[in-house]
Chain A
Amino acid sequence: MTTKLLEINNLKQYFPIKGGIFGRTVNHVKAVDDVSFYVNEGETLSIVGESGCGKSTTGRAVLRLDDPTSGEITFQGDDLLALNKQQMRRKRKDLQIIFQDPYASINPRQTVRQILEEAMSIQKVLPKAERMDKIMELLDTVGLGSHQLDRFPHEFSGGQRQRIGIARALAVDPKFIVCDESVSALDVSIQAQVLNLLKQLQRDLNLTYLFIAHDLGVVRHISDRVAVMYLGKIVEIGEKKEIFDNPKHPYTKSLLSAIPVPDPSNQQERIHLKGDVPSPIDPPTGCRFHTRCPFATEKCKNEVPELRVTKDMTGTHQAACHHIEEIESGAKQPNY
């Protein structure tokens, strides 16, 4: 039986735009607008979507790196948003994050030893005397040598730095890790190494990942379930196999059609979207995708579609589109 480790309900993250002499709030960037999902213990849920769709914001909100505007974040039965600063600091032991840019995510003035020691001393993991052993163990876990202990970040390559970032996150024995584009900044060969390391750590330590990415190949490799975001909303969510083999939402379909096929004789038709992503300051009414959707109708402009199940979906697959049935049966033709 799988248990839900993290559950998010109606999460909203609006960033105020200040203007005028007195710094009044003139408008909001609706980065994440009413998002709900859950992550089961031991699984990897990926969030995919193009830049600016709110996937990183969601990850940061879960860790309360930016406090969300409203919503509910339940972690192991505790409402994270109800915790005060002190309680949240202690709770952070269980929730960690691995960042995108290995060059910006570690303090250039600390050695590996200092970085890991600090992490442990903040959360008071282990008595002082035993921390050194743990540090060595961590280095070994992430594939760094003990001779690299007293080196500074500038002496490492990007992939090695990312391993330091992973070791830092693991230093406090977390249960849940947000990987915020954790491999996007790395070379493809290094990406594979780091992804495999993450996978192996998940097996060994029973970790749960919220994996934020824009690279569908990476997502396919690591995920159990996938959520597709567009302009602050989840448009489709479900098991990896379902999302990749049986996508229902027109946006997911166009996203998947962008994966290059390494076979020149078997090229599938690419679905090109028109125009740019609308501004999250003033998102379209109804279905947010209607301005670019080839199937959009009057209904899409007026009614916000909810995530729902249709008949040939399996598992936890849900999509937010008014016209799934018509599109699937061929009754609606795309209007390019």
Chain B
Amino acid sequence: MPETTIHQPVEKPRNPHIENFKNIVKRLKKNKAAMVGGFLILLFVITAFVGPYLVPFSAGEQVLVNKLQGPSAEHWFGTDHLGRDIFSRIIHGMSITLYIGFFSVVIGAIVGVIFGIISGYFGGKIDTLIMRAMDILLAFPGILLALGVVTILGPSLNNVIIAVGVFSVPSFARIVRGSTLSVKELEYIDAVRALGASDFRIIVRHVLPNVFSPIIVQATLRIATAILTAAGLSFLGLGAQPPKPEWGAMLSDGRNYIFDAGHVALFPGLAIVIVVLAFNIFGDGLRDALDPKMKS
């Protein structure tokens, strides 16, 4: 007789990560400003990838007879002192801006999280040492610190990323240390320790997943600061070198014509403002959505 197996309907386990994610999205959707910010960021990312193929001019195309023209139907944002189309250059520069923002924050976050977790988890002398080092970094104004790093490494786009990354480290280290301090006091950490887990396992498997949301929020907010600082460095001539269509560098170019042809500086400046603003309001909204208790 063939055996028959009865298939019982298996109740699908509800993963708290997914459940939690749904809740966060729900809360985020209620926040109009954050949604606008998020939508803009999405638009920027798409622009960065496909924008350069859609704009009428390349980033470096010079038509000197058309130099310093105001906005027109052909050149939406006008042209600069070499007759390059500013609108096209801004679109081309989008990917550079996002590239700097993203990678400098990734560097800062990785290093900062490692420092912060070690500091909070082990405490004692290591904690004092790391946190005092972070205090020293924090004591510098961000741009000055980045200036110092770029001066040492030499002006280039990648060095700007490293510089901005370095100055993002302390903010991540502090936030992660704080969260680690509270997570490590929880009984389940003791329970795993009582089972004989190594410090490495406890940190990676039990502390890190539980300090993740403040890291995400901080990263989003930090991208805005990073973009601003990088633009500042390029403005000072220490970041992206001409003819790269970096916004800060374009702003710097426009400075010389600010009274005769204000649009040359105006439009890159506006672009920086909008991108930074989008990341800031999205980051704020994300913080409120991730932790409703933090909202004051």
Contact = CB atoms under 8 A, between A and B. Distances in A.
Given A109-B210, A152-B13, A104 B186 contact: yes
B16 interface: yes
B210 to A, nearest CB: 7
Nearest to A93: B196
Nearest to B189: A107
A28 interface: no
B152 interface: no
A114 to B, nearest CB: 9
B17 A63 contact: no
A111 B13 contact: yes
B209 interface: yes
A119 B195 CA distance: 6
A105 B188 contact: yes
Contact of B201 (A105, A122, A147, A150): A122
Given A105-B188, A107-B206, A65 B193 contact: yes
A322 B107 CA distance: 67
Interface in B11-58: 11, 13-17
Nearest to A113: B13
A123 interface: yes
Interface in B176-233: 186-188, 190-198, 201, 205-206, 209-210
A270 interface: no
B235 to A, nearest CB: 41
B187 A168 contact: no
Given A109-B210, A122-B197, A147 B11 contact: yes
B13 A89 contact: no
Given A106-B191, A108-B16, A90 B11 contact: no
Given A89-B198, A111-B13, A155-B14, A118 B187 contact: no
Given A111-B13, A118-B205, A152-B13, A92 B194 contact: yes
A165 interface: yes
Interface in A70-114: 88-93, 95-97, 99-101, 104-109, 111
A318 B169 CA distance: 59
A332 interface: no
Nearest to B13: A150
Contacts of A99: 187, 190-191
Interface string A33-66: 0000000000000000000000000001001010
A94 to B, nearest CB: 10
Contacts of A105: 187-188, 190-191
Contacts, number: 74
A118 B196 CA distance: 11
Interface residues of A, number: 36
Contacts of A100: 187
Contacts of A165: 191
Interface in A149-166: 150-152, 154-155, 165
A168 B191 contact: yes
Nearest to A104: B187
Given A122-B197, A122-B201, A147-B11, A152 B187 contact: no
A147 B12 CA distance: 10
A106 B188 contact: yes
A232 to B, nearest CB: 21
B188 A151 contact: no
Nearest to A124: B196
Contact of B196 (A90, A104, A151): A90
A105 B10 CA distance: 28
Nearest to A90: B196
Nearest to A168: B191
Contacts of B192: 107, 118, 122
A118 B202 CA distance: 11
A96 B188 contact: no
Contacts of A152: 13-16
A119 B188 CA distance: 12
A85 B247 CA distance: 54
B187 A101 contact: yes
Contacts of A235: none
Given A152-B15, A152-B16, A97 B196 contact: no
Contacts of A91: 196
Interface of B: 10-11, 13-17, 128, 186-188, 190-198, 201, 205-206, 209-210
16 contacts: A63-B194, A90-B196, A95-B194, A96-B194, A99-B191, A104-B186, A104-B187, A105-B190, A105-B191, A106-B188, A107-B188, A118-B192, A118-B205, A122-B196, A122-B197, A152-B15
Given A93-B196, A105-B191, 4 more contacts: A109-B210, A123-B195, A168-B191, A172-B195
